[in-house]
């Protein structure tokens, strides 16, 4: 169960995504100049390797436990959380007004990857809390910010997002949790929420819940949902927080993975209603949530990158030591890395991880530029780009995490199936990433309906132009790159013109196609940059870029066919589904 | 946690693989005439659904437990095993001389699928025991057969295969377990074996271990390995089996899945040597093992089909009930089967399962014809065909099991990540199938080196001709079929001529390519047959065949490119593996 934060690769991807000159004193990322990015990442790596990593396996084995409404985190986690808070790690990406450091999303992406690789079940707590921070920054009153946001940013308290109900998962319009107006301007909440990550725990003295609920006179569906803040402890007369609110944890789930992270069923209003405060306007709750959705989805994509990288590291480490069989011509038993079939697995893992990382960091840079570009047109374009790339970053990276962690088990062979070695845990932990924060199917539908069919097409055209430019200047695998980009262009054109059901049927292969073309071109761009800059990793980056283009991205034409020609066989196949 | 044996689909696949007229009174499968196949499968289904299935989840939760050398199986498993023995299920495919029914491999395939779908952790015990039966049938002396084989066939005792050691997994040549000759003609074994499935348990009073070991004067490597039989209890003076042999279980593994199946570390010879008897000739142990390898590998492929089918059933059942969102034009919330993206997942699952089943049953039929054809040339051709198809059946079906069980988790969404719903267990259980009985990488290497490069090419040419014939007569997806078959032909031609390292680098994509072309053509052939015969499932089979050809098999040209053009980027990428 080892992990070394791949600082070289992270800094490289960060600088590539930031763009040339962006991290200079006069650039968009001037706050990362003078080694700030490198130093921060090195500190994050130290914390991850020394504090979080040693608690990862015990978190899996012992798990969070529930008794009488209280949740106990695994041994050592309280102490680690105290160190997390002391280190001020929670404040990195939060705004300055309430104690944040306001560092860019790009740097936060690097830290997020590192923390989640070391211990995803721990790191998911602040990760989801960051979404709450953003929602509060955008929509909470100053009074609420002063009391709650400040303490969440510092890490003194944690925050949760309460969306899902038993009957309302991907379809939030079916939500039934009820909010009533109280005479003092506050609200009372009644209902049940499920799958609430860290809804209850012992890491911090107070937990601030952001809750979606429906007012009695609200319109039906998603336009009748409001966003509320309901803390576990309310302020008392002396300014302390000792008054228990009417919200409790009714139990935690027994899950496939991330056992250290308590997944809670939360009951609001069993004893007269949970006191809550409105964020934003009534019935605009879903819009409020969307303001922070891009970042949260990107963060989950980064969890995918994190576990994919860790799985690759573990598999490589094992394969270098494990000796079985002889390669053609060898006189002694070979390390299994020498066997072409094992090398293929390892290259698939390493290059897919690199491609997913490149896409995620590119997305983070687009988010940053949406905020930081002084020219409004450039800022707007960057914002559009972030919207376009976000579902790709989330879904592709988490698919890659599933594939890569499973391949790691395969490289370990029989030892991979034994829990002791720890690779099976990575596979179990990773499996949630393709599901939460919008399933990967929802991401694909978002990409196809809102981003491809819904927009003016400018962001997509720009993206494809960029890929074409890289492909045309490529030194290696030029034809494979070109084919993947043209396949994307064809499939994109088809999706904008066909009827909706046909487009929806192609959503998942289209997202994959997009990611393969974008990933392959970014890796080739990076390899070229590394060669120019005489980067010590240049040979490795070139090999990964070539392998990805010639073995992974060449699925692109087939995927385009599936999008264009395969949709009918989906929508005309009800007989096969027994309907 | 439901499962209904898909008797329609199994009988259909069985009859398609048997060939027209084969199950008539004068055909190769005359012993299956008069409804014998249907009746046997229906009885197997009853046993699976009523006895094995209810014990599947408790097997996962409680697992097998170890204490002081003894292993306790989960609650209810002893009683189920007694019923298994009473039902005579163990005897189906065993030879008649020692109490077997000698029914064809094809019928055994159907039963194996059904039992493993209901409870793989239970069914793996007789499944691996069947390999021991075959090895004993071929190589044991009559005296050993009379004492041991007879009782294994009846199910009174169970049998194990002892190959793996800590330093010898895929490479059996590195094996160190030692055998010494005893004056009475028997042998004594000394050493440690790991990953021994049901090496110790409480289901039966005696366990017969087949053990690979090395004599002191044996040549190095795989040519110095001998096969021995070492029972847990040896005969005493009165003919009872009360004398404990010097073999003990030192512990069981904590695994990702199949918790009910004890995976044992076995210690031989701690107290003077385990008494053992030679099977076959000295130093010919590996050849003896190979005699039963095809069947065991096919059986693991069938485990893949089994779990894929069960996962598909569970996902379909859930998706039909789960209502979220509205499909285009719908006025009410839709069942998620109606959403094209979910339909795509379900169709991927159902069609991949059908393709894997078709390949496995085709392989079983080839094994049968190798034994049953009266014409020696036809028998030899069938044997060659079984050899060619076996690695494809094993690896593709178990890859499909991984993909399908993971998709089932995805269809369940958040509920899929909760262990209670049982789909996560399928994913965990399935994960071993791609690893044991030769990893899927080993299967791909076997396919490429022994079956494609090693043979005279006749079996492959016949297989491709058959695919071409089906493609040329196809009513649907003709172009997709044709492309997949031609891609296979191209890649095959490349592999027979390129140097070994390049061929090895393409082994895994080639096996997948082979399976896609073979699976797609078999599904189309079946759909056509079903239409002709006015089969009540004809519309479903047609939809699955079309979907598979137009959405799954179209990966074939990309895979061929990966085989032909991608190998260099594998073998020239050592820089990327940090060597």
> Chain A closest CA to B419's CA: distance in Å?
5
Nearest-CB residue to B328 (from A320, A325, A501) = A501
Please tell me the distance from the alpha carbon of residue A396 to that of residue A308, in angstroms, as a whole number.
Answer: 11
Select from A418, A547, A554 the Cβ nearest to the Cβ of B561: A554
Mean pLDDT for B190-215 is 98
Disruptive mutation site among B255, B498, B566 for chain A (greatest number of A CBs within 10 Å): B566
B250 pLDDT tier (thresholds 50, 70, 90) = very high
The span from the CA of A471 to the CA of A485, in Å, is 8
Angle at CA of residue B91, ends B88 and B95, nearest 5°:
155
Judge: A324–B169 Cβ closer than 8 Å, yes or no.
yes
Phi, psi dihedrals of residue A331, rounded to the nearest 5°: -95, -25
Task: Write out the two tokens for A54.
Answer: 């040693």
Helix (H, G, I), strand (E, B) or coil at A83: helix
Contact B571 A343 (CB under 8 A): yes
Which residue from B256, B544, B574 is facing A419, i.e. has the nearest CB?
B256
The conformation of residue B451, written as its DSSP 8-state character, comes to: I
From the list A9, A25, A6, the residue with the least C-alpha distance to A17 is A9
Chain B: give the shortest CA distance to residue A509, in Å.
9
Question: Residue A242: what are its φ and ψ, rounded to 5°?
Answer: -120, -10
Q: Are A70 and A202 in contact (CB under 8 A)?
A: yes
Model pTM?
A: 0.97
**Residue range B151-163: mean pLDDT, rounded:** 96
Name the residue facing A174 among B333, B350, B542 (closest C-beta).
B333
Residues of chain B numbered 235-264 and touching chain A (CB < 8 Å): 253-257
Band (pLDDT 50/70/90 cuts) for residue B66 is: very high
Tell whether the model's pLDDT for residue B86 goes beyond 70: yes
Q: Coil, helix or strand for A208?
A: strand
Which residues of chain A make contact with B562, given a CB cutoff of 8 A? Answer: 550-551, 554
* Residue B287 pLDDT greater than 60, yes or no: yes
pLDDT of residue A241: 97
Q: Measure Cα distances from B293 to B93, B97, B394 in Å.
A: 15, 22, 11
List the beta strands (DSSP E) in B182-335.
187-197, 207-213, 226-231, 233-234, 243-244, 247-252, 263-268, 274-279
Return the CATH architecture of domain B159-289: Beta Barrel (2.40)
Is the distance from CB of B480 to CB of B520 less than 8 angstroms? yes
HSE-CB of A380 using CA atoms within 13 angstroms: 6
Instruction: Classify strands B178-181 and B158-162 as parallel, antiparallel or unpaired.
Output: unpaired
Within an 8 Å CB–CB cutoff, is residue B475 touching chain A?
no
Question: Among residues A413, A409, A419, A412, which one has the least CA distance to residue B253?
Answer: A419
- What 8-state DSSP symbol labels residue A173? G
Measured between CB atoms, does B550 come within 8 Å of chain A? yes
**Confidence category of residue B376, pLDDT binned at 50, 70, 90:** very high
- Quick check: B311 and B257 in contact, CB under 8 A? no
The residue with tokens 């991608």 is B566
Q: Do A509 and B551 touch (CB under 8 A)?
A: yes
| B544 in contact with A, Cβ within 8 Å | yes
Nearest alpha-carbon partner for B372 in B27, B67, B28, B3: B28
Active site residue B332: no
Tell me, what's the ipTM?
Answer: 0.97
Long-range contact list for A319-324, CB < 8 A, 24+ apart?
A319/A346, A319/A411, A320/B578, A320/B579, A324/B168, A324/B169, A324/B170, A324/B171, A324/B174
List the single residue in A333, A417, A565 with the smallest CB-CB distance to B550.
A565
Inter-chain contact A257–B417, Cβ cutoff 8 Å? yes
Instruction: Give the pLDDT confidence score for residue A93 in this predicted structure.
Output: 87
**B292-325+333-438 — its CATH code?**
1.20.140.10
Q: How far apart are CA B231 and CA B247, in angstroms?
A: 8
pLDDT-derived band at B49 (thresholds 50, 70, 90) equals: very high
Q: Is B268 helix (H, G, I), strand (E, B) or coil?
A: strand
Positions in chain A whose pLDDT score sits under 50? none
Over residues B539-574, the pLDDT tens digits come to 999 999 999 999 999 999 999 999 999 999 999 887
Q: Which residues of A touch B441 (CB under 8 A)?
A: 339, 341-342, 345, 410
Q: At what angle do helices A507-532 and A478-497 cross, to 10 degrees?
A: 150
Closest CA to B268 of B207, B209, B220, B226: B209
* Facing A570 at nearest CB: one of B343, B505, B508: B343
Confidence label for B2 from pLDDT (cuts 50, 70 and 90): confident
Q: What is the pLDDT of residue A1?
A: 62
> Which tokens is B18 given?
């048997």
Give per-residue pLDDT as tens, B426-471.
Answer: 999 999 999 999 999 999 999 999 999 998 999 999 999 999 999 9
Asked if A547 and B562 come within 8 Å (Cβ–Cβ), the reply is no
Tens digits of per-residue pLDDT, B108-122?
999 999 999 999 999
Residue in A167, A171, A220, A344 to test binding to B, most B beta-carbons within 10 Å = A344
Contact present, B56 and B401 (Cβ < 8 Å): no
Q: Which CATH architecture is the domain A158-283 placed in?
A: Beta Barrel (2.40)
Query: Please, are residues A492 and A452 in contact by the beta-carbon 8 Å criterion?
Result: yes
Q: Does B441 touch chain A (CB under 8 A)?
A: yes
Burial class (CB in 10 A: 0-12, 13-18, 19+), B525: buried
Q: Are B29 and B105 in contact (CB under 8 A)?
A: no
Does the CB of B197 have a partner CB in chain A at under 8 Å? no
Partner B, chain A 404-423, Cβ-Cβ below 8 Å? 406, 409-410, 413-414, 416-420
**Nearest residue of A to residue B322, measured between CA atoms:** A167
The pLDDT of residue A476: 87
CB contact A508 to B (< 8 Å): yes
Nearest-Å Rg of the Cα atoms of chain B is 24
Give bridge partners of residue B160 from the DSSP assignment.
B209
H/E stretch holding A60: helix A56-62
Please check whether residue A341 touches B, CB under 8 A: yes
Greatest alpha-carbon pair distance for chain A in Å reads 85
> How many other C-beta atoms can be found within 10 angstroms of the C-beta atom of residue B87?
15
A501/B340 Cβ within 8 A: yes
Domain residue extents for chain B: 159-289, 292-325+333-438, 440-567
**Lowest mean per-residue pLDDT among B43-47, B445-449, B574-578:** B574-578
Chain A residue numbers with beta carbons less than 8 Å from the beta carbon of B427 are: 256, 431
Angle, CA of B189, B195 and B197, to the nearest 5°: 95
Sequence-distant (6+) residues with CB within 8 A of A334 are A323, A324, A325, A326, A327
How many whole angstroms separate alpha carbon A362 and alpha carbon A366? 6
Q: Which residue of A has its CA nearest to B563?
A: A551
pLDDT tens digits, one per residue of B409-424 = 999 999 999 999 999 9
Are B159-289 and B292-325+333-438 the same fold in CATH? Answer: no
Q: Encoding tokens for residue A81?
A: 């959380």
Query: Whose CA is closest to A388, among A567, A506, A514, A516?
Result: A514
pLDDT tens, position by position, A31-80: 999 999 999 999 999 999 999 999 999 999 999 999 999 999 999 999 99
Q: Is A569 on the interface with B (CB under 8 A)?
A: yes
How many Å apart are CA A234 and CA A232, to the nearest integer? 7
């Amino acid at each position: 169960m080892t992990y070394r934060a791949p600082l070289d690769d992270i800094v490289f991807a960060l600088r590539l995504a930031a763009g040339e000159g962006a991290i200079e004193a006069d650039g968009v990322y001037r706050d990362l100049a003078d080694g700030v990015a490198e130093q921060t990442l090195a500190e994050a790596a130290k914390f991850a390797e020394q504090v979080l990593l040693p608690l990862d396996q015990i978190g899996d084995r012992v798990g969070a436990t529930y008794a009488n409404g209280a949740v106990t985190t695994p041994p050592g986690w309280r102490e680690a959380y105290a160190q997390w808070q002391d280190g001020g790690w929670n404040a990195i990406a939060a705004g300055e007004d309430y104690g944040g450091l306001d560092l860019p999303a790009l740097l936060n992406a690097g830290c997020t990857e590192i923390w989640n690789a070391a211990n995803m079940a721990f790191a998911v707590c602040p990760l989801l809390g960051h979404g709450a921070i953003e929602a509060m920054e955008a929509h909470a009153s100053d009074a609420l910010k002063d009391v709650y946001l400040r303490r969440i940013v510092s890490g003194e308290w944690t925050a949760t997002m309460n969306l899902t109900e038993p009957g309302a998962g991907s379809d939030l319009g079916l939500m039934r949790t009820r909010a009533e107006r109280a005479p003092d301007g506050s609200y009372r909440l009644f209902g049940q929420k499920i799958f609430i990550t860290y809804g209850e725990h012992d890491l911090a003295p107070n937990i601030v819940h952001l809750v979606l609920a429906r007012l009695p006179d609200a319109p039906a569906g998603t336009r009748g949902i409001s966003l509320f803040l309901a803390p576990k402890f309310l302020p008392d007369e002396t300014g302390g927080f000792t008054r228990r609110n009417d919200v409790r944890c009714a139990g935690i789930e027994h899950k496939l993975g991330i056992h250290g992270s308590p997944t809670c069923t939360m009951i609001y209003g069993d004893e007269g209603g949970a006191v809550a405060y409105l964020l934003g306007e009534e019935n605009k709750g879903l819009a409020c949530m969307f303001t922070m959705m891009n970042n949260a989805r990107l963060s989950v994509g980064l969890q995918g990158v994190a576990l994919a990288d860790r799985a690759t590291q573990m598999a490589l480490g094992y394969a270098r030591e494990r000796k079985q069989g002889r390669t053609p011509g060898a006189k002694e038993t070979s390390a299994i890395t020498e066997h072409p079939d094992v090398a293929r697995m390892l290259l698939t893992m390493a290059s897919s991880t690199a491609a997913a990382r490149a896409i995620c960091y590119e997305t983070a840079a687009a988010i940053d530029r949406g905020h930081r570009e002084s020219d409004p047109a450039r800022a707007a374009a960057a914002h559009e780009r972030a919207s376009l790339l976000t579902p790709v970053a989330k879904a592709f990276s988490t698919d890659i995490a599933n594939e890569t962690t499973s391949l790691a088990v395969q490289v370990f062979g029989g030892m991979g199936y034994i829990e002791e070695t720890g690779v099976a845990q990575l596979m179990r932990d990773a499996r949630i990433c393709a599901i939460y924060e919008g399933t990967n199917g929802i991401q694909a539908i978002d990409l196809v309906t809102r981003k491809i069919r819904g927009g003016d097409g400018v962001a997509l055209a720009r993206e494809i132009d960029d890929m074409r430019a890289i492909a045309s200047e490529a030194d290696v695998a030029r034809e494979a790159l070109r084919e993947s980009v043209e396949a994307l262009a064809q499939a994109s054109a088809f999706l904008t013109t066909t009827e909706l059901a046909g487009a929806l049927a192609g959503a998942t292969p289209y997202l994959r196609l997009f990611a393969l073309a974008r990933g392959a071109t970014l890796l080739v761009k990076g390899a070229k940059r590394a060669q120019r800059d005489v980067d010590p990793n240049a040979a490795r980056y070139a090999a990964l870029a070539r392998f990805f283009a010639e073995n992974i991205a060449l699925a692109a034409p087939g995927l385009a066919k599936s999008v264009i020609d395969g949709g009918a066989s989906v929508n005309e196949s009800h007989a096969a589904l027994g309907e």
